[in-house]
């Protein structure tokens, strides 16, 4: 707008107004603020975020991971498809921290399917279940009754998997929501392998498949899981820490052997 003031005078006037306390330049034409656009809702200030509580499951997501898992697992027509479906399953946080998916090892024609808890460090590195110290003990235990994961004959063979296919950080215990969302894959895994009996290694495997924990009471007694005979046993990692319990483990292996002989 033309004012007729020279630049120096205009600047001097502006400085003087600032000294008087003016903080805003207003236009020549008045504005009716009541007719102006309503103010936009204030965006909440990006204050400090509440950190997630590690002892609680994460807030309810929009999709139900258990339903997603059910749909993906039941669509798998064979073990390769099931492995691929697990690999594509994006709802379990454990996957992000793991190096490898640990699906299974052994002979899928086996009469006996062993179900452990979750991969540890060695399993995570190699992508195979029970390959660390506990796994080596497991191999020696079954070798004592003439069985092993490399056996070609179904009656001598083992097929081995875990409840969780990804290593939990620092080998912590599986959380209930992790077990719940991965259980549909375990159920489908068992259905596809179709073993005669299940061996449930340790408390978490029993909790997930029998709905009960307390391995000291459960071990050595046949139960039923997913419609099949299931034998809870001490986990080999427990036997490494408590070698005196190997006596009970030997008893349980003989029970398994007897059962397999009874029902050829
Ligand atoms: N313990 C388990 O339960 N599973 C493994 O694969 C290794 C250790």
Ligand 1 lined by 184 (C-beta under 6 Å)? no
**Which pLDDT value is given to residue 175?**
97
Give the number of other CB atoms < 10 A from CB of residue 45: 5
Dist CA 252 CA 219 (whole Å): 8
Q: Which helix (H) or strand (E) holds 112?
A: strand 112-116
Instruction: Check: CB of residue 182 under 8 Å from CB of residue 92.
Output: yes
H or E segment and range at residue 12:
helix 7-20
24 lies in some domain: no
Q: Can you give the pLDDT at residue 264?
A: 79
Residues 6 or more apart whose Cβ sits within 8 Å of residue 206: 200, 212, 213, 214, 215, 218, 232
Whether 118 lines ligand 1, by a CB cut-off of 6 Å, is yes
Is 232 inside a domain boundary? yes
The CB of 65 under 6 Å from ligand 1? The reply is no
pLDDT of residue 135: 98
Whole-number pLDDT of residue 3: 61
**Separation of CA 14 and ligand 1 centre (Å):** 77
Residue 133 lies in a domain: yes
Identify whether 54 is part of a domain. no
Whether 181 is covered by a domain: the verdict is: yes
* pLDDT < 70 positions in the chain: 1-3, 18-49, 59-61
- Please give the model's pTM, rounded to 2 decimal places: 0.78
Instruction: State residue 8's pLDDT score.
Output: 76
pLDDT confidence of residue 60? 63
- CATH number of the domain within which 128 lies: 3.40.470.10
Cα–Cα distance, 113 to 142 (Å, whole number): 12
Domain assignment of residue 17, yes or no: no
With respect to residue 99, please indicate whether it lies within any of the assigned structural domains. yes
Expressed as residue numbers, the domain containing 160 is 65-262
Residue 134 CB–ligand 1 contact under 6 Å: yes
In this predicted structure, what is the pLDDT of residue 23? 57
β-pair type (223-225, 228-233): antiparallel
* 43 lies in some domain: no
Number of domains in the chain: 1
Question: Is the C-beta atom of 238 inside 6 A of ligand 1?
Answer: no
pLDDT of residue 13: 76
Looking at the CA of residue 128, tell me the nearest atom of ligand 1: 6
- Distance from C-alpha of 263 to C-alpha of 191, rounded to nearest angstrom: 19
């Amino acid at each position: 707008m033309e004012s007729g003031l020279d630049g120096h005078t205009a600047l001097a006037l502006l400085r003087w107004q600032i000294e008087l306390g003016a903080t805003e330049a207003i236009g020549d034409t008045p504005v009716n603020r009541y007719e102006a656009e309503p103010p936009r809702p204030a965006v909440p200030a990006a204050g400090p975020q509440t950190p997630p509580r590690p002892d609680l499951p994460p807030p309810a997501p929009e999709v139900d991971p258990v339903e997603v898992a059910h749909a993906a697992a039941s669509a798998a027509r064979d073990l390769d498809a099931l492995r691929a479906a697990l690999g594509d399953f994006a709802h379990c946080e454990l996957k992000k921290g793991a190096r490898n998916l640990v699906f299974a090892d052994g002979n899928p024609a086996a009469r006996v399917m062993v179900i452990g808890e979750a991969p540890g460090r060695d399993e995570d590195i190699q992508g195979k279940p029970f390959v660390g110290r506990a796994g080596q003990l497991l191999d020696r235990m079954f070798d004592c009754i003439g069985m092993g994961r490399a056996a070609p004959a179904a009656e001598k063979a083992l097929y081995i998997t875990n409840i969780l296919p990804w290593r939990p950080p620092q080998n912590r215990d599986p959380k209930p929501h992790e077990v719940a969302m991965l259980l549909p894959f375990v159920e489908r895994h068992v259905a596809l392998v179709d073993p005669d009996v299940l061996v449930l290694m340790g408390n978490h495997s029993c909790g997930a498949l029998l709905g009960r924990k307390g391995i000291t009471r459960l071990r050595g007694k046949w139960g039923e899981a997913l419609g099949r005979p299931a034998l809870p046993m001490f986990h080999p990692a427990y036997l490494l820490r408590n070698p005196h319990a190997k006596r009970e483990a030997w008893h349980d292996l003989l029970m398994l052997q007897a059962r397999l002989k009874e029902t050829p």
